[in-house]
Amino acid sequence: MTDANLSVVRKFIRPQTGDSWATIAERELPKLKTDEGVSSLQSWNLHVYMRAPAPEGSPRAGNPILPSDVIFIEPPMAAA
């Protein structure tokens, strides 16, 4: 089986260094306004959005996205 034979699954990206919701929205959802893109990304990625905040003073403070995260760039697919 080649890659072309893989069934279609939900699209995702891995964050780039320094990524935030806004930078991902601007890169991956260019047809949307940034705030709309951010809102969409957050709703599709509750596993990141709902993460407990990093402590104050942490380099992660204010940005819940981890370098290892899977970030979906589309909503869940309808059931087959």
Partner 1 sequence: MYDLIIRNGTVVDGSGLPGYQADVAVKGNRIAKIGKIAETADKEVDASGKVVAPGFIDPHTHFDAQLLWDGAAKPALSHGVTTIVPGNCSLSLAPLKADHRMRLVGMFNQIEEMPYKAFREGVVWDWETFSEYITRIRKGLAINVAPLVGHSVIRLWVMNDAATERTATDGEIAQMQDVLRECLNAGAAGLSTSYVDMDETLQPVPSRYADAREVDALAAVLGEYGRMLQIVPEFYDPDLTIARLDQLAELSIKYQIPTTFSPLFVNADNVDAVDRVMKRVDEQFARGARVWPQVQTRPIDISFSFAVPSLLFIRYSNWYRIMRFGTPVEIKAHFADPENRKARAAEVADAKGLWEKLVLRQVKTEANQKYVGQTLAGIAADRGVTPVEAMIDISVEEDLEAHFLAADMGHNDDEKVVSLLKHPRVHIGASDGGAHILSFSTYGDTGYLFAHFVRDLKTMRLEDAVKKITSDTASIWGIPERGLLQSGYIADIAVFDPQTVNRGVEKFVQDVPGDGSRYVRESHGVDTVIVSGGIAWSAKGGYQEARGAVLPGETSRQPELVAAE
Please tell me the chain's helix, strand, coil percentages from 3-state DSSP, rounded to the nearest 5. 30, 5, 60
Whole-angstrom Cα distance, residue 67 to residue 20?
11
Q: Does 27 engage in binding with partner 1 (CB under 8 A)?
A: no
Q: Does 12 engage in binding with partner 1 (CB under 8 A)?
A: yes
Cβ proximity to partner 1: between 29 and 54 the closer is 54
Q: Does 47 engage in binding with partner 1 (CB under 8 A)?
A: yes
Scanning the structure block, which residue is given the tokens 């990093």? 54
Residues in contact with partner 1 by CB under 8 A are 1-3, 5-7, 9-10, 12, 14-15, 17, 47, 52, 54-55, 58-60, 66-68, 70, 72, 76, 79
